[in-house]
Amino acid sequence: MLKRIAIMTSGGDAPGMNAFIRSATRHALEQGIEVYGVHQGYQGMIDNLIKPLPREDTVNIIQRGGTILKTSRSQEFMTAEGREKAAANLRAHKIDGLICCGGDGSYAGLVALSEQWSGKMIGTPGTIDNDVAGTDLTIGFDTAVNTAMSAIDNLRDTGDSHSMHFIVEVMGRHCGDIATAVGKASGAEAILVPETKSDLDAVYAALHDKGHNIVVVAEGDELGGAYQIAELLKEKFCASKADCKPNFRVCILGHIQRGGMPTARDRILAHEMGLESVNALINGEHLKAVAIQKNKYLRTELS
C-alpha cells in the first residue's frame, strides 16, 4: 500500500511541467497518499531538498512556464556514490514511490537509481525536444513549437519588408521534431534535421531569388548550425554573380523556446499524464513510463 510519494522534474524545464505537478499532487492527495516534492532535480535528491508538497503550493501554477520544483542536470547523480546519497535521503523521508517528469536522461537516472533504492518509480515525458522513445508527444513540445512559430511570423514581417533570407535555428538537441513541426507551421522554404542527410543543393533550389525566404535548421543538424548554413548558402547564392550581396540573416531562437505559458494542448497532456503516473504507482507498476500513442495513454518500459 502506497503511503508517501515524491514528485520531481529533471533535465531541461518544459512548459507544462507545473500543470503536471499540479495534477499529480492533487490526484495523489485525493487518494490519501502523502506527497513530497524533490526540489532541483536529481541534485536536490542528493542534497536532501525533499519537502512536503501541500495542495496550496499547486494553486495558480497551471498557466506558468518553468517548474516550481526547479530542475538541474546533475553530474554527481551519474556516480553510484551520488545515487547512494540520494537513495538514503528517500529512505529517510520514507518515500515509497517516485514520479520523475523529464527526458531520456531523467529516465536513465530512474533506471540507475533502482540499483540503490527499492521504491517504485514511474517516468513522465517532459521535454520540449519530443525525443522520448515510445510516446508520440512529450510535455512542452507543443508550446515550444508555437513559440518558435510566432517568432518566425514576426521574422516574416521584417523579412518581407527588407527581402531578407532568414536562417532560423531551433532547439531539439539530436532530434528534428521541433524543426519539422515549426517549419511546416510557418511555411518554411526548407527544413534541415539531424535524422536525414541535409542536401544543400536542394535547400538552395527551394529558395526564391526575389522576396524573402525562411530556412529552419535544427540545432543538431550534421551540416552545422544557422551561421554555417547561412555561409554555405551565401556562397551558393553568389557563385555565378558578380558584386553579390545577399541579405542573409541568422536568428537563433535558443532558450526562448523553453519558457512561456504552456499551450492548452500541453496543459491537457500534462494534466492527464499527471493522473496516469499516479495511477501507475497505485497499480504497483515499477520502472514504467507514461506514454501517449495515437491519442491513447499506455505505459512503456522505462529502459
Residues engaged in binding ligand F6P (CB under 6 A): 12, 73, 103, 127-129, 171-173, 219, 258
In whole angstroms, how close is the CB of 89 to ligand F6P at the nearest point? Answer: 24
255: nearest Cα among 15, 71, 40, 39: 15
Quote the least distance from Cβ 167 to ligand F6P, whole Å.
Answer: 18
Cell reading at 82: 551520488
Task: Select which of 129, 131, 142, 266 is catalytic.
Answer: 129
Amino acid identity, position 232: L
177 is catalytic: no
Q: Which is nearer to ligand F6P, 171 or 275 (CB)?
A: 171
Closer residue to ligand F6P in complex, CB, 132/292: 132
142 or 219: whose CB is closer to ligand F6P? 219
Distance CA 139, CA 262 (A): 9
Taking the C-alpha atoms of residue 188 and residue 94, their distance in angstroms, rounded to an integer, is 52
> What whole-number distance in Å separates Cα of residue 253 and Cα of residue 218?
11
Backbone φ and ψ for 52, nearest 5 degrees, come out as -55, 145
Crossing angle of helices 264-282 and 17-30, in 10° steps, is 40
Name which of 71 and 213 has its Cβ closer to ligand F6P.
Answer: 71
Sign for the pseudo-dihedral over CA of 107, 108, 109, 111: positive
Nearer to ligand F6P, 95 or 218 (CB): 218
CA distance 20 to 188: 32
- Shortest CB 176 distance to ligand F6P, Å: 11
> What backbone phi and psi angles, to 5 degrees, belong to 296?
-120, 140
As measured in angstroms, the least distance from the Cβ of 161 to ligand F6P is 30
CB of 90 to ligand F6P, least distance (A): 25
Known catalytic residues are: 129
